[in-house]
Structure 1
Amino acid sequence: MTASPSSVLGEGASPRPVLREVRFLRLWAGTTASGLATWALPFVLGLAVLERSLSPTGLGVVLAARTVGFLAAVPVSGVIADRRSRRAVVLWSGLTAAVAAPLIALGLGRSVALMAVAAAVSGAGQGACRPAFQALTAEVVEEGRRRQANAAITLAVRVTTLVGPAVAALLAVLVDARGLLIGIGALWLVAALAPPAGVPIRRPGTGRPGFWAEFTEGVREARRHPWFLAGLAALTAVIATGYSATGVALPLVSRDRYGSEAVLAGAATAYIVGALVGALLVARWRPRAQGWAALAGLACYGVAPLALLLPVHPTVVIAAYVLTGIGIELFNVPWFTATQREVAPDKLARVSSLDFLLSYGLAPLGLALIAPAMDAFGYGPVLGACAVVCFAAPAAAALVPSSRHFSVR
C-alpha cells in the first residue's frame, strides 16, 4: 500500500496534517512555483543555445546578470519584509520576475543587452522572494508543524527538479525557447498570487532607523545565535567547495576518467533522488541532538569530491551523490525550521537574507575559482582540499555549544 503525502510527511505528529491546510497548500504552491521558475531559466536558456538563438557567451552574460540582481535584492528585501507585509514582498517580487521573463524572450536572438537587463530584474525578483517566503512560512504555519511544512516544500522542489528536465524537453518539441520563457513568467505569476497573507506580527512604530541601521540590526540578531553563525559559516564553506566541485570537476572527471557523460547524468540524478529520500526521512526523524545530526548531514557533501578524487567504479560515484543528496536535506529542513523558531519574528527576514546572501551568494565565487585552481595545482590537490573543507567545516561548527540543538535555550 502506498503512503499518502500527508502520512509520508509525518501525519501522526499532528492531528491536523499540514498538507490538509488550504493556507499552507497555497503557500506550498507559491514556493514550488518560484523554485521551479528559478531552476528553469538557466535550463531554458541552455536550450536557446542549442537552438542557436543565443551564444554561449551570451548565456554567461545573462546568467551573470541574474546573479547580480539576486545578490543586490536579497539584503534589501530582508529589510523591507521585516518593515512591512511579507505577503506584499512576495507579491511584488513575483510580479517583477513575471514581467522580466517575457522581456528576456523579447531580447532572445535580438539583443543580449536587453536579455541581461531583464535577467537582472528577474534575479532581483528571485532574490527578494527568498527571505520573504522564509518569514511568511513562519507566519502561516505554527511552530509545531514547521518541520513538516519545510520538508513538504523542499520535497516539492526536488520533485520538480527531477522531472523538470524531461518535461521541458517534451515541451521544447512543441514550443521554442521563447514560449518556454513565457511559461516561466506564468510560474512567477503563480508564485506571486497563490500564497495567503500571514498572521501580522508586532513591528516598531514610527521613527524607524534607516536601511543600513535596520540591516545591521538583523546582523546583531544573527550574532545572538552562535549556532546560526557557525552553521552559516559551515554551509557557506561547503557550498563554495563541494558544490563547486560538482559544478566544475564532475563534468571533467566524467569525460576524462570514464569516457562519457553517463556518470555526469547519473550523479546529477542520484543527487536529486538522494535529496528526495532525505526530505522524506527528515520529516519523520526527530534526533535528540538535531543540530549535530544536521551538521553531520551537511558533512556528507565531502564524499562527492572524495569520490571524484579516487579512481573508483562509476557506481561508487553515483552512490556518493545519493548520500550527498540525503545529507543536504538532513541539514536544510532542521536549519530552516530552527531559524524560524529561534530568531525574533520581526527580524526573521533580515536574518534569512544573510543566510541566502552568504551561502548562495558566494557560490559563484567558488565556481569561478575552482577551474583556475585545478589548472594551477591539478585535480587531486583541489578535490582533496574541497573534501577536507566539507568534512572539517561542519565538524568545527558542531563545537559551538548551542549547535547541538540549534538553540541557545
Structure 2
Amino acid sequence: MATWALPFLMGFAVSNGVLSSVVLGSSLAIRTVGFLIAVPIGGILADRLGSRRILFASGLIAAGGTVLMMHYLGANDVCAQMVFALGMFLSGAGQGACRPAYQAIVPMLVAPKNLQSANAALSLAVRATNLTGPAAATLLAATAGLNVAFVAIALLWLLSAMLPPWPQTPHTDRSPGDARRTLLNRIADDLAEGFREALRHSWFVAGLGALALVIGAGYSVTSVLLPVLSNQVYDGPVLLTGCTMALLCGAMAGALTVARWQPDYRGRWAIGGLCIYGFVPLSLLVPEHFWIPLIAYFIAGWGLELFNVIWFTAIQQEVSPDKLARVSSLDFIVSYGLAPVGLSAIGPLSVHFGATPILLAASVICIGAASLALAIPSSSYFSTETAGTPSPGRREK
C-alpha cells in the first residue's frame, strides 16, 4: 500500500499547488534511481545476511525517507530541496531492497507444495493494493492533510519492517579473502555469482528475455497510446479507466486460477499467458469498439498473472537458496530497468510513424518473443533438471 500510495500522494500535492509538475517528475525519477540501485545490493545482502534482516532495514529506510519528504515538501531553499530529493531516493531504495528479499523469504516460510498458492496470495494482495493504496492515500490527504497521509505511509513501512516472522536462515560464510577485498570488489563478485547462477537455468534466461520485450515494447506502447486513443475517441479517460480496471480484474482472476491449479508443462502455460498481451495492441486498433479492448485487457491480465505466479514459484524452487535473492534482483532489474527506455521511445516513434504501425510492431514483438522463449526445451517446464518430466509444478525439492 505504501508503494502504490506515494505517487498518487505526490500528484495530490501537485494538484494543490504544493509541488510543481517539474519537481514531481524529477522526484519520481530520483525514486526510480534509488529503486534500481538498491535492488541488486538488496539481493546481495539478503543472500549474505538473511532476507529478514533486509526486510527490516529496507522498511526503516523507506519510512525514514518518507519522513524527510514530509518535512521538506514544497520547500524553496536549495538545501531543503536536496534533502527532499534524498528522501525520495531513500523511499525508492527501501522499496527496491525489499523486493528480492521478499521473494527469497517465501520458501523459508512456506512448504514446497504450497509455494504456488502462497505466491498467488501475494500477487492477489498486490493487485488489491493497486486500488486501495492510492484511494486511501488520496482520501486521507483530502480529509486530514498531506502530512497525515505521509505519516500513514511511513507507518505502513514500519509495519512492513516489523510484522513478518523471523525464520532461521543460513548465512553465506565469508571466504578468508573477503577481508582483503574492497567493498566494490565483493559486490561485483557477488553479482557475478548471481549472474552465473541465472545463466545456469536456460528457461530463466529465455523467460526473462521474453518478459523484458513484452514490458519494453507491448506494455510501454499501450501505456503511452491508450490515454491518447481514449481522448481521441471518447474525449476523456473512459477507455483508459475501463481498460485499466479490466486488466486489474483479469489479473485478480488469474491469481485465483493458479492458487489451486498447478498445470502440467507449467512453463508453456506461463509463457502462453505472457504471449496473450500481444493481442492488447491489436485491440487498440479498433478503440471505437469499446468492448474489444476491454475483453483483450481482461484476458491479458489473466495471462500476465498466470505468468507471474508460476514464474516466481519456479525461481524459488529451481534456484540455489543461497543465490535466490540475487537472481530475483536480476529479474527485477531487467523488468523495471528496461521499461523507461520503451516509455521514452514510444512517444516520438508514434508521432513519426503513426499509432497503427507501432501497435502492430508491438504485437509482433510480444508474440514473437514468447514463441522464441518456448523454443528452449526447459521453458516448457521452467526447470532444467526435470526436462522431460510432465509435472514439475508439483515437484518438491
TM-score (norm 1): 0.88
On the 8 A contact 2:140/2:148 being kept in 1, the answer is no
Out of 90, 95, 99, the residue aligned to residue 121 of structure 1 is: 90
On the 8 A contact 1:140/1:197 being kept in 2, the answer is no
Offset at residue 162 of structure 1 (A): 2.6
Letter in 2 for 1:77: G
Alignment of 1:272-311 (within 5 A): 272-311=248-287
Offset at residue 208 of structure 1 (A): 5.9
Offset at residue 312 of structure 1 (A): 4.4
Letter in 1 for 2:259: A
Out of 325, 330, 355, the residue aligned to residue 301 of structure 2 is: 325
* 1:44 and 2:13 are equivalent in the alignment: no
* 1:152 and 2:121 are equivalent in the alignment: yes
* 1:84 and 2:49 are equivalent in the alignment: yes
Alignment of 1:8-407 (within 5 A): 36-111=1-76, 112-201=81-170, 203-207=172-176, 210-407=186-383
Offset at residue 114 of structure 1 (A): 3.1
Q: The residue matched to 2:264 in structure 1 has which SS?
A: coil
Offset at residue 169 of structure 1 (A): 3.5
Measure, in 2, the Cα distance between the counterparts of 1:175 and 1:68: 31
Letter in 1 for 2:121: A
Deviations 1:6-47 (A, max 9, x none): xxxxxxxxxxxxxxxxxxxxxxxxxxxxxx211111111111
Offset at residue 331 of structure 1 (A): 0.2
After superposing the two structures, state which structure 1 stretch, 237-246 or 332-341, moved more: 237-246
Letter in 1 for 2:75: R
On the 8 A contact 1:270/1:318 being kept in 2, the answer is yes
On the 8 A contact 1:66/1:122 being kept in 2, the answer is yes
Measure, in 1, the Cα distance between the counterparts of 2:318 and 2:234: 47
After superposing the two structures, state which structure 1 stretch, 270-279 or 206-215, moved more: 206-215
Percent identity over paired residues: 48
Letter in 2 for 1:134: Q
Q: Which runs of 5+ in 2 are unaligned?
A: 179-185, 386-397
After superposing the two structures, state which structure 1 stretch, 265-274 or 339-348, moved more: 265-274
Deviations 1:200-242 (A, max 9, x none): 2363343265221111010000011000000001111111122
Letter in 2 for 1:269: M
Measure, in 2, the Cα distance between the counterparts of 1:288 and 1:166: 39
On the 8 A contact 2:378/2:384 being kept in 1, the answer is yes
On the 8 A contact 1:90/1:132 being kept in 2, the answer is yes
On the 8 A contact 2:5/2:136 being kept in 1, the answer is no
Q: The residue matched to 1:309 in structure 2 has which SS?
A: coil
Offset at residue 176 of structure 1 (A): 2.3
Offset at residue 55 of structure 1 (A): 1.0
Deviations 1:243-288 (A, max 9, x none): 2123211110100122221111111111111111000001122221
On the 8 A contact 2:213/2:365 being kept in 1, the answer is yes
Measure, in 2, the Cα distance between the counterparts of 1:388 and 1:169: 39
CA spacing shift, 1:208–1:160, aligned 2, 3 Å? farther
Measure, in 2, the Cα distance between the counterparts of 1:185 and 1:106: 12
Offset at residue 168 of structure 1 (A): 3.2
On the 8 A contact 2:120/2:256 being kept in 1, the answer is yes
After superposing the two structures, state which structure 1 stretch, 366-375 or 65-74, moved more: 366-375
Offset at residue 311 of structure 1 (A): 4.5
Measure, in 2, the Cα distance between the counterparts of 1:342 and 1:197: 23
- Alpha-carbon RMSD across the aligned residues, in angstroms, is 1.4
Measure, in 2, the Cα distance between the counterparts of 1:122 and 1:339: 27
Offset at residue 178 of structure 1 (A): 2.8
After superposing the two structures, state which structure 1 stretch, 271-280 or 378-387, moved more: 378-387
1:14 maps to none
After superposing the two structures, state which structure 1 stretch, 389-398 or 198-207, moved more: 198-207
TM-score (norm 2): 0.91
Letter in 2 for 1:302: G
Measure, in 2, the Cα distance between the counterparts of 1:342 and 1:159: 28
Q: Which runs of 5+ in 1 are unaligned?
A: 1-35
Q: The residue matched to 1:301 in structure 2 has which SS?
A: helix
CA spacing shift, 1:309–1:114, aligned 2, 3 Å? farther
2:394 maps to none
Deviations 1:333-389 (A, max 9, x none): 000000000000000011001000011121111111111111221111111111111
Deviations 1:279-313 (A, max 9, x none): 00011222211001000111111122211123441
Measure, in 1, the Cα distance between the counterparts of 2:194 and 2:125: 29
On the 8 A contact 2:44/2:187 being kept in 1, the answer is yes
Measure, in 2, the Cα distance between the counterparts of 1:139 and 1:337: 13
Measure, in 2, the Cα distance between the counterparts of 1:164 and 1:270: 18
On the 8 A contact 2:2/2:157 being kept in 1, the answer is yes
Letter in 1 for 2:59: G
